[in-house]
Chain A
Amino acid sequence: MSLLKGLRLPEVKQVPFPYPNRIDKYEVVIERDRCTACGSCVEVCPTYLGKSIVDYEAFEKVGGIIRLFNPNDICEGFKCMKCVNVCPHGAISVRLSKEYLTLGDHRWTSDLILSTWEQAERGKVSWRYEHRVGASGGGFDKLRFDFELDEEGPINYDDFFDPDIDTSITLNKRDDGRPRITIPIPIYGADMSFGSISLNVMLARAKAAQAWDTFVGTGEGGYPEELIPYKEHVITQVATGHFGVNAKTIRRARIVVLKYAQGAKPGLGGHLLADKVTPEVAKIRETVPYVSLFSPFPFHNVYSVEDHYRHVQLIKDINPKALVAVKISTPVDVDMVAIGSYYAGANILQIDGGCGGTGAAPIIAKKNIAMPIEYAIPIVHNYLVREGVRDKIVLMASGGIRTAFDVAKIIALGADGAVIGTAELVALGCKRCRNCERGRGCPSGIATTDPVLSKRIDPKWGAQRIINLYFSWLKQWHYILTMLNLKSIKDLRPKGEVKFVNGRFNHLIHLDYLKG
């Protein structure tokens, strides 16, 4: 039986940005000198209440203002070009906008950011943007499902929404008497601490997690009381700094995560800069305001698998009902660490790949330490299969998982599900400008504790954006499963070892190795 039948699906509501302007993929430029304002372009424009026209050249030349259309909807770009063709004076040209060309990076291309914004706004994919892969040139961006190669035209994912398809996963596979928590979608929210992100953002994420009956992590920054109404959906973290960790918070959570390492700065401690330690943050972290906070690395009471076992048991003793998740990153011997965690009694193993997000980390660590998640998951999965314990532990992947297709791909590579951090923040308006670590923090009001800036995010608005994004993702998973003739996302995960031959494995294709 599908779990979705039991779940009241959250409602999708239109939640645009609270900004008057928007970043478009295309810009239409009209040369003032040639334009006679005949209006023929207005007539042919399919989105007649069309398009904000920013006429850079003309402004520079003439200093006048041309505004032909209302800035309400989006230009279809090179596919349409009707206005360009109809203009008798050749005054119109369509090109990629300056902002589109500036936004984003190799992994989160401007297309991915804009499409995530669009999904967060409307709960739909418009196919105006590449919404599946980025341009990093490897990993997810080179992997495809086999049906994608002969797919045609824009697909309306709404048509594939099917309540009989099961996208739920179970977060406990051990017979240890602890609850078998099931979540209806194969994702939950990553750990982000109060201090690295604002309380409003935490609330938005918690509300979204509640609506989807899944979870969200508090990170290592204490458990703000404002989250208590959502406690059924909150994972709390025990990390090396033990900031704001006490028996009370551990007993409150249904899942407790022990963080051993973080993909963005594996092997290094955390560092919250003094600027961000406001009195509220200090209070909840049980420390002094405006003093830099270091989380050391590693747990100095865990130097062996035996120590690790005791560490997990300690949490299990404090909260006999909680599931214990262990968050590790991806060194050379990630498979050994994984099996160690299994024997230590972890219910969930969260593997955070080298491309994971962070509030602040040395660039050398982000770029160079630890392997990407696309390698780590198959390596760990295969090892657990060989050891015969794969079906006893839940493997969650995180670190660089951006889209619904990334989630599906990582499941097809051996994970049970994924943990989502950055995508949620992008839904809230993150542009990946990477200034989270300095001064007042995020100008979009996300990764900040500044009392003024954090008001830029309204929790209700934010929650709806994340809800919409996941709704859009759900439809895409339904589409993928339909195309693969599967009824449950659990069946997407390989039962045996992952082994690519000629660039193919099960439903997956790696473009670099594809033959025949």
Chain B
Amino acid sequence: MKYERAFKRYNIEVKEAPAKVKLPPKYLVKRYANCVNLQECVNACIYGVHIIGEDGRVAEPISEKCRGCFVCVLTCPRGAISVEINPEFAKLGDTYFTPERMETIYFEAETGRVPVSGAGYGGPFAGRGFDGMWFDFSEIVRPTRDGIHGREYISTSVDLGRKPPYLSFKEGRLISEVPRVIEIPVPMILDSPLRNNRYLNLQLAVVKAANKLGTLAVVRKDHYGYYLSRYRGNIILRLSLAEVNEVGKVVKGIKVIEVDLTKSKEPRIKVFKEALATLRDLDRSTLISVRFRYAEGVSKEAYLYFKEGADILHLSVNDLKVKDDPDLAVRAIRKVHGYLVNKGVRDEVTLIFSGGIAEASHIPKSIILGADAVCLGLAYQVALGCKVCYGEEHKEDCPLREGVDDVDWAAQRIINLVNAWRDQLLEVLSGMGLRDVRRLRGEMGRAMFYKELDAKVFGGGT
């Protein structure tokens, strides 16, 4: 008994989980007919691209191993080797889920490790949306933490639910309602996968991953069934308005219910109020989350949801819209968070953000902008082989259209991805000298914005 209560450091179990279908290699190495088998390239290459085949001659180059150092090109006296960007690689993903991002996600999902490389950053000076932000860090005058190497513990836990600003007592007894809060050890929850022909395995993998991680997974009502019931403590049940009335006993043991208003038209507040009343009647202890789309003026709506009694606000931005306008994600979080701050209620409600999360840095950036936690959707599906599908369902030619066969493998890849992203979150937190990710939320002063800085330094005056 004593030992059970002992402090246990949160740890994610990472196991190698190689992709079933590898991404095409980044580089394409070709050997031309003017090769006369001098084998200089075999000696020059340290990655094993050029090897001697069984016939004693140089074999076809193994492009998968190439890391783009060009030493073979320079070494070949015959000019018989070329290295180029693989056109298949360049075609991957799209302008938002770029080939490089997909490659990174695959690496993270396979190994669970933080991507590391040498030399300076070679990308564009700045970009739009999340890419137009830099983090602050602490230097000299503020102590920093050493989290990533495990010497100091940095908490990545966040709380979901309502936190009353104060408690009331009468004659020494608590009279206000005890806050119902769920603590999750990582500020990431997993969204329901896009619809596909065989949702069973895929949904199970996501929920299993959430269970192992100790976090929550969003499950649509029509995907929820007996097969998931043992994991119901890790499930956020996502209900459309129509489903609210017919949900009945299903909700038993479910800790969070999400009312999906992303498809609803005005008056949303009124229908939410009704749905909330229905759900509260079923089980008072369930946390109610409301999922809504970002649009102009939605901040006030978010505030009203809170006023009506929502415990969690799930601000969702369409991935496709973020692809076309990356600034949208930043604007959405900033606006809703800012509105709640101005209304003086920000600390009482949880704000979850989803949409456009495509790399590890987007998590601390969302949190700095004002989200408590993020909801991962497309990113983990890309890790499982999705060809970056937007909308409601996986496209015809997407491997995830037919779900996944190996549930444990899929769960492990999600776990690995979350671990890699959590470790990178720790890197950022340790750089800033923070011990707790809760302290990062809304700390806009810990970010530098490209547009503001650029205008300040170079755009001054008119």
Q: Which residues of A contact B (CB under 8 A)?
A: 17, 19-23, 52, 54, 56, 59-60, 62-65, 67, 71, 98-99, 101-108, 136-139, 141-143, 260-261, 263-264, 266-269, 294, 296-299, 302-305, 308, 328-329, 331-334, 336-337, 340, 354-372, 374-375, 378-379, 399-400, 422, 430-437, 439-440, 442-444, 447, 453, 498-503, 510, 512-513
B85 at the interface (CB under 8 A from A): yes
The CB with the most chain A CB atoms within 10 A, among B45, B143, B151, is that of B143
B7 at the interface (CB under 8 A from A): no
Are B133 and A368 neighbours in the complex by a CB distance under 8 Å?
A: yes
Instruction: Closest B residue to A344 by CB, please name it.
Output: B140
Are B119 and A358 neighbours in the complex by a CB distance under 8 Å?
A: yes
A63-B46 contact, Cβ under 8 Å, with A20-B75, A512-B458? no
The residue that A21 contacts in the complex, of B47, B77, B446, with Cβ under 8 A, is: B77
Are A363 and B115 neighbours in the complex by a CB distance under 8 Å?
A: yes
Are B124 and A136 neighbours in the complex by a CB distance under 8 Å?
A: yes
**Within 8 Å CB of A501, what residues of B?**
460-462
Main secondary structure of the interface of B (DSSP, over half): loop
Instruction: Closest A residue to B76 by CB, please name it.
Output: A21
**Within 8 Å CB of A360, what residues of B?**
116-118
Segment with Cβ contacts to A, from B155-163, B185-193, B428-436: B428-436
Could you write out 19 A-B pairs with CB less than 8 Å apart?
A: A65-B34, A67-B34, A102-B27, A107-B121, A137-B125, A141-B125, A305-B141, A308-B140, A333-B136, A336-B141, A337-B140, A356-B120, A362-B114, A363-B116, A365-B427, A368-B361, A375-B454, A439-B46, A444-B69
Ranked nearest first, the 7 interchain pairs of A and B with the lowest CB-CB distance are: A267-B431, A436-B118, A138-B125, A105-B122, A267-B137, A19-B74, A501-B461
Are B143 and A366 neighbours in the complex by a CB distance under 8 Å?
A: no
B177 at the interface (CB under 8 A from A): no
Are A303 and B125 neighbours in the complex by a CB distance under 8 Å?
A: no
Alpha-carbon distance between A437 and B457 when the two chains are bound, in angstroms? 35
B341 to chain A, nearest CB (A): 20
**Within 8 Å CB of A102, what residues of B?**
27, 68, 83-85
**Within 8 Å CB of A17, what residues of B?**
74
Instruction: Closest A residue to B127 by CB, please name it.
Output: A137
Are A358 and B120 neighbours in the complex by a CB distance under 8 Å?
A: yes
Q: Which residues of B contact A (CB under 8 A)?
A: 27, 30, 32-34, 44-47, 67-71, 73-77, 79, 82-85, 104, 114-126, 133-144, 146, 148-149, 151, 359-361, 365, 424, 427-428, 430-433, 445-446, 448, 450, 453-454, 456-462
Instruction: Closest B residue to A304 by CB, please name it.
Output: B141
Are B140 and A64 neighbours in the complex by a CB distance under 8 Å?
A: no
The residue that A437 contacts in the complex, of B117, B121, B462, with Cβ under 8 A, is: B117
Instruction: Closest B residue to A357 by CB, please name it.
Output: B120
B188 to chain A, nearest CB (A): 15
Are A362 and B121 neighbours in the complex by a CB distance under 8 Å?
A: no
A103-B70 contact, Cβ under 8 Å, with A331-B139, A400-B120, A453-B46? yes
B33 to chain A, nearest CB (A): 4
A397 to chain B, nearest CB (A): 14
Are A363 and B117 neighbours in the complex by a CB distance under 8 Å?
A: yes
Are B458 and A444 neighbours in the complex by a CB distance under 8 Å?
A: no
Are B119 and A422 neighbours in the complex by a CB distance under 8 Å?
A: yes
Are B448 and A371 neighbours in the complex by a CB distance under 8 Å?
A: yes
Instruction: Closest B residue to A413 by CB, please name it.
Output: B457
A276 to chain B, nearest CB (A): 11
Taking A337-B140, A400-B120 as known contacts, 19 extra A-B pairs with beta carbons closer than 8 A to each other, sorted by chain A number, are A99-B82, A99-B83, A138-B125, A139-B125, A268-B430, A297-B431, A303-B140, A304-B140, A328-B140, A336-B141, A365-B428, A369-B134, A369-B431, A372-B125, A375-B456, A375-B457, A437-B118, A443-B46, A443-B71
